[in-house]
C-alpha cells in the first residue's frame, strides 16, 4: 500500500504539472475558457498515459508511476513549477459557496463509502478493467457481455484511479473529475449567455446538483461524463475557442461513447450563429495541432481496435442496430424515434415519478425540481427577452433532437440527454438574479434535490448497511448481488447468457482470477472448471434449462450452492 501511494503521488504530480506545461502552450487568455481547458487537458493526459501503458504491456503501478517520476523530474528541472500561478479566489456568493461545499463533500463521501454497484457498470463497463489490471495490458477478453467491445475511453480514466493501489476504492474519482469539467463548462456557457459572475457560478452549481448527474458522477456510468464533454464542446464554440481546441473534448467524448456524435448538429448550429465573432487564438498553433491529434488518437483507438478485431469499427452495432436482452441500439436515424422520445419525455419521464431515482434512470429523466419548475419557467420568460439565450436554446433543442432521432424509444434513453438540464439551470440562475423570490424557490428546490439524491434508490437500507458494514479494503457490492464467501485469492468462474454483475467476481483488490465460461451446458461448464483448476462459479440462472442442470448436479453432490448465484464444485 505504501509503495502504491508513492507511485500514485508521483503519477498524479507529473500529470498535474505536465498539464500545466501543455496548458501554457494552448491557452487563450480567456480565463473561464482556460480554466475549462486545463481540466480537459488533465483528463486527456491521464487517458493517454493509461492507453500507452496498456498497449505497451506496462499497465502497473511501478511502470506508470516510474514514468511519472521521470516526467516530473524533467518538468522540475525545466522550472515548470516556478511558472505555476494560483488562480484568483472566485466570487461565488455565500449561498452558492455553501451549496458547492456540500456537493463536493457529498461526492467525496460517496467515493469513500460506495462501491461499484449498478447493473450496467458491473455488467459490461468494469469487467474489462479487471482484466487489464490483472494482465498488466489490454486484453481481448473483456467479459461475457456482448456490449463489452463498445468504446472504453471513460474506463481509461477509471483505470488510472485503481491501478496504483490495485484497488477500486477510488474508482469513482474518475466521475468526479468529469463532473468538475461539467461544472466549468456550464459556468462558461452561462457567462457567454450574458450572466454575471455569481449567477454563472450558481448555474454551474445547480447543474452539479441535478439528481441524475449527481448520482452518475459516482456510479461508474459514462452518461454524465458524456454530458460534461458535450457541454464543453458547446461552451468552447460559444466562447469562440479555436476549432482545434473544440475538437479535443469532441474526440475524447467519442472515445467514451458514440452518442457524443448525436448532439453535433446542435453545436454546428451554434457555430453558425457565432460565426461573426473572431476565434480566440491559442498561444501556440503548433502545440494545439499536437493536442488535437492526440485527442483523435485516444478517441479513435477503440474504433480502430474494433475494426481490426471484428471487422466493424462500431461493433457490436451494425447498420441494422443491435439487440440483446433488453438492450436495443439503433443503427442509424429513424424519424419515428423523435416524436416517440419527445412524447415519452414530456408525458412521463420529466415528472421523475415512473421509477426510483437511480443512475440507470429507468423511466425517468432525473432532471430534478429546479430544472422542471423554475428552470422551465425561467427559460420561457428568457426566450422573449434575450437573443443569446434563444440561440443557445435552439442549439440545445437541435442537439436533443439529434439524440432522439438516433435512440430507440425505451425506458433507459433519457440519460442520453443529460446535458439539457444545463440550459434550464442557466435560465433558473438568470431569473434568480433578477427576482429574489425566485432565488428562494430555487434554494428550496435544490435543497430537496440534495436530500433525495444522496443515495441511489436502487440501494435499499439493507444494501447500504451491507456496504457500510464492510471494512474499506473489502468493500464490495458482492454481498448485495450474491457473491460472498470465496476465499481470498481463489479463482472464480463466471457463466452467464444475459447481463450479469460479473465485475464483483474480481474482488475490490482484483485478487480473484476470473474464468469467463462460454459453454453450452453444465457438463461442459464442469469440464472447463476442472481443466482450469477453478472450484467456485458465479452463475446467472435465468435459463430454465441451465437451472435444471444445476439442480441435478446439486442432487448428485457435484456442486454445492453457497448463495443464490454462487456455487462450489465438489471434486
pLDDT higher than threshold 80 for residue 117:
yes
With 80 as the cut, is the pLDDT of residue 571 above it? Answer: no
First to last CA, the chain: 36
- Which of 504, 458, 455, 513 minimizes the C-alpha distance to 481? 504
Quickly state the pLDDT bin for 153 (edges 50, 70, 90): very high
pLDDT of 557 strictly over 90? no
User: What is the mean pLDDT of the segment spanning 176-181?
Assistant: 98
- Local confidence band at 271 (pLDDT 50, 70, 90 cut-offs): very high
Give residue 428's pLDDT: 98
Q: Find the mean pLDDT for residues 275-285.
A: 93
Number of Cβ within 10 Å of residue 286's Cβ equals 9
Whether the per-residue pLDDT at 545 is higher than 90: the answer is no
Least confident of 354-358, 390-394, 443-447: 354-358
Of 263-272, 285-294, 326-335, the one with minimum mean pLDDT is: 326-335
pLDDT of residue 219 exceeding 90, the answer is yes
pLDDT at 468 over 80: yes
Which pLDDT score, from 0 to 100, does residue 88 have? 87
Where would I find the H helices in 239-336? 243-256, 264-273, 285-310
The region of weakest confidence among 125-134, 284-293, 518-527 is 518-527
d(CA 440, CA 438): 5
pLDDT at 355: 86
pLDDT tens, 46-99? 999 999 999 999 999 999 999 999 999 999 999 999 999 988 889 999 999 999
Average of per-residue pLDDT across 183-200? 97
Instruction: Specify the pTM.
Output: 0.96
**Other CB atoms within 10 Å distance of the CB of residue 21:** 20
Q: Is 73 in a helix, a strand, or coil?
A: helix
Please report the pLDDT score of residue 215 as a whole number.
96
Give residue-wise pLDDT tens across range 359-396. Answer: 999 999 999 999 999 999 999 999 999 999 999 999 99
Task: Give domain limits for the chain.
Answer: 1-81, 96-114+172-452, 464-569
The confidence score (pLDDT) of residue 546 equals 84
The stretch 471-489 carries a mean pLDDT of: 93
For residues 472-476, average pLDDT = 94
**What secondary structure letter does DSSP report for 514?**
E
Please check the confidence at residue 326 and state whether its pLDDT lies above 90.
no
What is the C-alpha to C-alpha distance for residues 307 and 313, in angstroms, rounded to an integer? 4
Contact 261, 52 (CB under 8 A): no
So what's the pLDDT on residue 556?
85
CB of 116 closer than 8 Å to CB of 168: yes
Per residue in 325-362, is it b (16+ CB within 10 Å) or e — as a string? eebebbeeebeebbebbeebbeebbbebeebebbbbbb
- Over residues 437-461, the mean pLDDT reads 94
pLDDT at 543 over 90: no
Q: What is the pLDDT of the chain when averaged over all its residues?
A: 95
pLDDT of residue 339: 97
State the Cα–Cα distance between residues 363 and 415, nearest whole angstrom: 10
Q: Cis before residue 390, ω within 30 degrees of 0?
A: no
Asked if residue 129 has pLDDT above 90, the reply is yes
Section 108-134 average pLDDT? 96
Q: Where does the pLDDT of residue 541 fall: very low under 50, low under 70, confident under 90, or very high at 90 and above?
A: confident
In angstroms, the CA 340 to CA 404 distance is 8
Q: Write the CB contacts of 274 (distance below 8 Å, at least 6 apart in sequence).
A: 237, 238, 240
Over the stretch 243-265, which tens digit does the pLDDT of each residue have? 999 999 999 999 999 999 999 99
Q: Is the pLDDT of residue 565 over 90?
A: yes
What CA–CA distance (Å, rounded) separates 477 from 507?
A: 9
Which residues, listed in sequence order, are joined to residue 566 by a DSSP beta bridge?
538
Amino acid at each position: 500500500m505504501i509503495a502504491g501511494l508513492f507511485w500514485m503521488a508521483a503519477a498524479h504530480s507529473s500529470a498535474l504539472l505536465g498539464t500545466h506545461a501543455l496548458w501554457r502552450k494552448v491557452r487563450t487568455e480567456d480565463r473561464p475558457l482556460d480554466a475549462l481547458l486545463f481540466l480537459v487537458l488533465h483528463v486527456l493526459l491521464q487517458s493517454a498515459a493509461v492507453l500507452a501503458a496498456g498497449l505497451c504491456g506496462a499497465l502497473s503501478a511501478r511502470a506508470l508511476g516510474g514514468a511519472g517520476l521521470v516526467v516530473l523530474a524533467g518538468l522540475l528541472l525545466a522550472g515548470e513549477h516556478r511558472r505555476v500561478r494560483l488562480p484568483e479566489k472566485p466570487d461565488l456568493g455565500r449561498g452558492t459557496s455553501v451549496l458547492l461545499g456540500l456537493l463536493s463533500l457529498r461526492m467525496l463521501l460517496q467515493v469513500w463509502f460506495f462501491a461499484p454497484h449498478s447493473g450496467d457498470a458491473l455488467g459490461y463497463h468494469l469487467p474489462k478493467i479487471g482484466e487489464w489490471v490483472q494482465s498488466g495490458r489490454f486484453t481481448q477478453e473483456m467479459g461475457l457481455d456482448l456490449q463489452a467491445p463498445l468504446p472504453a475511453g471513460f474506463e481509461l480514466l477509471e483505470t488510472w484511479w485503481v491501478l496504483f493501489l490495485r484497488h477500486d476504492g477510488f474508482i469513482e474519482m474518475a466521475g468526479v473529475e468529469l463532473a468538475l469539467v461539467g461544472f466549468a463548462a456550464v459556468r462558461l456557457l452561462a457567462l457567454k449567455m450574458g450572466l454575471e459572475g455569481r449567477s454563472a457560478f450558481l448555474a454551474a452549481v445547480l447543474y452539479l446538483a441535478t439528481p441524475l448527474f449527481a448520482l452518475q458522477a459516482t456510479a461508474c456510468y459514462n452518461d454524465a461524463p458524456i454530458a460534461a464533454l458535450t457541454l464543453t464542446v458547446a461552451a468552447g464554440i460559444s466562447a469562440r475557442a479555436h476549432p482545434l481546441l473544440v475538437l479535443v473534448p469532441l474526440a475524447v467524448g467519442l472515445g467514451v461513447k458514440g452518442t457524443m456524435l448525436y448532439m453535433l448538429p446542435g453545436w454546428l448550429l451554434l457555430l453558425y450563429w457565432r460565426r461573426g465573432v473572431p476565434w480566440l487564438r491559442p498561444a501556440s498553433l503548433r502545440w494545439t495541432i499536437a493536442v488535437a491529434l492526440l485527442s483523435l488518437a485516444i478517441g479513435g483507438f477503440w474504433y480502430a481496435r474494433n475494426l481490426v478485431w471484428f471487422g466493424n469499427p462500431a461493433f457490436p452495432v451494425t447498420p441494422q442496430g443491435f439487440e440483446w436482452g433488453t438492450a436495443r441500439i439503433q443503427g442509424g436515424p429513424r424519424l419515428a424515434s423523435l416524436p416517440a422520445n419527445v412524447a415519452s419525455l414530456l408525458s412521463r419521464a420529466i415528472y421523475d415519478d415512473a421509477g426510483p431515482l437511480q443512475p440507470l434512470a429507468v423511466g425517468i429523466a432525473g432532471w430534478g425540481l429546479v430544472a422542471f419548475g423554475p428552470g422551465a419557467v425561467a427559460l420561457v420568460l428568457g426566450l422573449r427577452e434575450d437573443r443569446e439565450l434563444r440561440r443557445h436554446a435552439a442549439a440545445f433543442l437541435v442537439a436533443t433532437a439529434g439524440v432522439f432521432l438516433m435512440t430507440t424509444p425505451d425506458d433507459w434513453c433519457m440519460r442520453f440527454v443529460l446535458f439539457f438540464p444545463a440550459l434550464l439551470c442557466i435560465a433558473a440562475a438568470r431569473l434568480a438574479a433578477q427576482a429574489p423570490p425566485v432565488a428562494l424557490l430555487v434554494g428550496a428546490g435544490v435543497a430537496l434535490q440534495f436530500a433525495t439524491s444522496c443515495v441511489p434508490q436502487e440501494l435499499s437500507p439493507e444494501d447500504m448497511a451491507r456496504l457500510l458494514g464492510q471494512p474499506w479494503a473489502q468493500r464490495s457490492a458482492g454481498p448485495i448481488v450474491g457473491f460472498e464467501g470465496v476465499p481470498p485469492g481463489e479463482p472464480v468462474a463466471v457463466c452467464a447468457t444475459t447481463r450479469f454483475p460479473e465485475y464483483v467476481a474480481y474482488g475490490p483488490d482484483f485478487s480473484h482470477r476470473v474464468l469467463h465460461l462460454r459453454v453450452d451446458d453444465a457438463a461442459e461448464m464442469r469440464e472447463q472448471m476442472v481443466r482450469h483448476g477453478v472450484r467456485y462459479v458465479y452463475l446467472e440462472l435465468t435459463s430454465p434449462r441451465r437451472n435444471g442442470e444445476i439442480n441435478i448436479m446439486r442432487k448428485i453432490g457435484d456442486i454445492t450452492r453457497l448463495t443464490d448465484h454462487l456455487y462450489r464444485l465438489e471434486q
